[in-house]
Structure 1
Amino acid sequence: MTLAIAMILDAILGEPRWLWDRLPHPAVLMGRLVGRLDDRFNAGSRRRLKGALSLVGMCVAALAVGWLVKALPLAWLCETLLCAVLLAHRSLVDHVRDVAKALRLSVGDGRVMVARIVGRDTRAMDGPAIARASIESAAENFSDGVAAPIFWYAIGGLPGMLLYKMTNTADSMIGYRTPRHEEFGWAAARFDDLLNWIPARLTALLFTGLTGLWGAWHGIVGDARRHRSPNAGWPEAAMSRALDVAVAGPRSYDGEMREFPFVNPEGRHDSGPNDIEAAAWLLWRAWAALLGVAVLMALL
């Protein structure tokens, strides 16, 4: 029942600013560790090996913390609270809905808000591009920030969830094909791909099942396989068909336009705030389904 209670706490409390203004968030602590290892070892020769060994060290540390928590007094309470902190459903939905609210005010306000949840250039985005980016981010981040941690908790308990979160944090910081990180971050990116392989596909199945669009599964699989990411295309393709909108497509990074293909190109290209709200509602439905599974697992 620990996981179910943690999910409910996250849904109610989200990310309380009063707490994280006083204490470092566990994800921040993980980020600091990644940053220090990057500064210390990402130099000279054999960067891929150094990155792989650094990742092993990070993962061992994450597993050790998980096992230590289980040895604490009131371990069940500590584990529940830590699980709630490591989930990111409420904060994700709040950020996505903030984009919809801002976009209803103006395109400029929408650009400001969407810049908080995507890494692409937002200064030239029009309304539909803002909506597409928000929906795409909602789908991908639900898979990474909610479904995957729940999956790995189900597989390996708190150590499994911490192992996943550490890997995902490392990937978000160093798992890029840039001159600095292409070699050092290679292991983090590949291991994150591996850990997300099943959760991404389960998320696509979940979105599809909740909307009853099994007839669209062939198209979802096709779009997912054409996506530049081995995993992100699955939840994005399922979400796009659930809303009947196109997502992804061309976008700019650091002033350079990249011609990525659309996901569900036959869908509407005029998405707006209502579509963002519909995506947020689908996230809540998916969360409720996962909560039901967590409760069932506890009872069994």
Structure 2
Amino acid sequence: MTLILGMILDALLGEPRWLWSRIPHPAVLMGRVIGWCDARFNAGEHKKQSGFLTMLALCAMAAMLGWIIESVPGSLLDVIIVAILLAQRSLVDHVQAVADALRLSLGDARRSVAMIVGRDTKDMDAPSVARSAIESAAENLSDGVIAPIFWFAVAGLPGLLIYKITNTADSMIGYRTPRHEDFGWAAARLDDLLNLIPARLTAVMIWAVTSRPNLGAILREAPLHRSPNAGWPEAAMAHGLDIALSGPRSYDGIMQPYPFVNAEGERTLGPDDIDRAVQTLWRTWALTLALAFIAALALS
């Protein structure tokens, strides 16, 4: 029941600003630890080995913390931690904010979508803004919701915390830049591994809740994505909503000629399409909650 209650609590409260404006969010604390490790150990001739040992130590500490928390009598603390480390409500709020802003003005929408994507946004047209928000919705549904739930179901709080520290490390040091290509290699590869199953589960669940007979198309297109995992929920969302996602986009002023996913789908996207993506987020969450209930009953 810990997972079920944590999912419901997250869906109801999300990330209350009054709380996290006063104390640092656990993800912020994880980021500070990773930043310290980057500054301290990302040096010398053996950066790949240093990065590997750093991730080994971070995962060991995360697992130990999880075991310690689980040993505390009662399950309320466990429920709170699960709720804090899930991101369903936060994801929905951020994606919906882009749709709401797009209904006001393109400038508002660009500023709103810049909060959830890493690409250049200042020259985006309205369809590009909507497409970016929907892609973020699909990818973060896997990373921020389904994957944490999966690893908690598999290994309890140790599994959840190992996943979160790895995912946070990947977002900070897992890039192929001169500074992080070697030191962040272990973080990036471990994040790929931990997301391997959840990304595909997310795709199947999006397919299930959108009720479109296109699983074969998802299976064909998802492996073509530049990411080994992000392509799965993105392809499922594209085909589930019958829209074209991905496509060319700019990073640091350089246009990248990425192909479209579901290229035959609708490309002139707007706030109503973002609304449909948000509805898909909630339907997928509801399906996950139902599966968690079934699993809890089966194990009781």
Same fold (TM over 0.5): yes
Q: How does 1:223-242 map to 2 (within 5 A)?
A: 223-242=221-240
2:212 pairs with 1:219: no
| Structure 2 Cα separation of the partners of residues 231 and 77 of structure 1 | 33
Q: How does 1:150-169 map to 2 (within 5 A)?
A: 150-169=149-168
Taking only aligned residues, the RMSD between alpha carbons, in angstroms, comes to 0.8
2:243 pairs with 1:245: yes
SS of structure 1 residue aligned to 2:27: helix
Q: Following TM superposition, by how much is the alpha carbon of 1:253 offset from its aligned partner in structure 2, in angstroms?
A: 0.8
| Structure 2 Cα separation of the partners of residues 48 and 261 of structure 1 | 32
| Structure 2 Cα separation of the partners of residues 288 and 73 of structure 1 | 29
| Structure 2 Cα separation of the partners of residues 21 and 111 of structure 1 | 25
2:207 pairs with 1:208: yes
Kindly, what percent of the aligned residue pairs are identical? 61
Q: Residue 279 of structure 2 aligns with which residue? A: 281
SS of structure 2 residue aligned to 1:124: coil
Q: How does 1:83-102 map to 2 (within 5 A)?
A: 83-102=82-101
Q: Residue 6 of structure 1 aligns with which residue? A: 6
SS of structure 1 residue aligned to 2:22: coil
Q: How does 1:88-127 map to 2 (within 5 A)?
A: 88-127=87-126
| Structure 1 Cα separation of the partners of residues 221 and 103 of structure 2 | 30
2:66 pairs with 1:54: no
| Structure 2 Cα separation of the partners of residues 161 and 133 of structure 1 | 28
**CA offsets per residue over residues 77-103 of structure 1, 9 Å max, x none?**
111100000000000000000000000
Q: Following TM superposition, by how much is the alpha carbon of 1:251 offset from its aligned partner in structure 2, in angstroms?
A: 0.8
| Structure 2 Cα separation of the partners of residues 103 and 242 of structure 1 | 22
- Identify unmatched segments of 5+ residues in structure 2: none
Q: Following TM superposition, by how much is the alpha carbon of 1:293 offset from its aligned partner in structure 2, in angstroms?
A: 1.1
Q: Residue 16 of structure 2 aligns with which residue? A: 16
| Structure 1 Cα separation of the partners of residues 185 and 176 of structure 2 | 8
Name the amino acid aligned to 1:66: G
| Structure 2 Cα separation of the partners of residues 55 and 62 of structure 1 | 10
Q: TM-score, normalised by structure 2?
A: 0.98
Q: Residue 297 of structure 2 aligns with which residue? A: 299
Name the amino acid aligned to 1:85: I
Q: Following TM superposition, by how much is the alpha carbon of 1:298 offset from its aligned partner in structure 2, in angstroms?
A: 1.6
| Structure 1 Cα separation of the partners of residues 197 and 237 of structure 2 | 17
- Identify unmatched segments of 5+ residues in structure 1: none
Q: Following TM superposition, by how much is the alpha carbon of 1:249 offset from its aligned partner in structure 2, in angstroms?
A: 0.9
Q: Following TM superposition, by how much is the alpha carbon of 1:72 offset from its aligned partner in structure 2, in angstroms?
A: 2.1
Q: Residue 261 of structure 1 aligns with which residue? A: 259
Q: Following TM superposition, by how much is the alpha carbon of 1:42 offset from its aligned partner in structure 2, in angstroms?
A: 0.6
| Structure 2 Cα separation of the partners of residues 284 and 224 of structure 1 | 22
SS of structure 1 residue aligned to 2:195: helix
| Structure 2 Cα separation of the partners of residues 197 and 261 of structure 1 | 22
SS of structure 2 residue aligned to 1:98: helix
**CA offsets per residue over residues 179-208 of structure 1, 9 Å max, x none?**
111100000000000000000001110011
2:45 pairs with 1:64: no
Q: How does 1:189-208 map to 2 (within 5 A)?
A: 189-208=188-207
**CA offsets per residue over residues 22-48 of structure 1, 9 Å max, x none?**
111111111111100000011121101
| Structure 1 Cα separation of the partners of residues 32 and 9 of structure 2 | 26
Q: Following TM superposition, by how much is the alpha carbon of 1:220 offset from its aligned partner in structure 2, in angstroms?
A: 1.0
Q: Residue 37 of structure 2 aligns with which residue? A: 37
Q: Are 2:210 and 2:241, in contact at CA under 8 Å, matched by a contact in 1?
A: no
| Structure 1 Cα separation of the partners of residues 126 and 269 of structure 2 | 8
Q: Following TM superposition, by how much is the alpha carbon of 1:73 offset from its aligned partner in structure 2, in angstroms?
A: 3.9
| Structure 1 Cα separation of the partners of residues 18 and 148 of structure 2 | 24
2:134 pairs with 1:135: yes
Name the amino acid aligned to 2:242: D
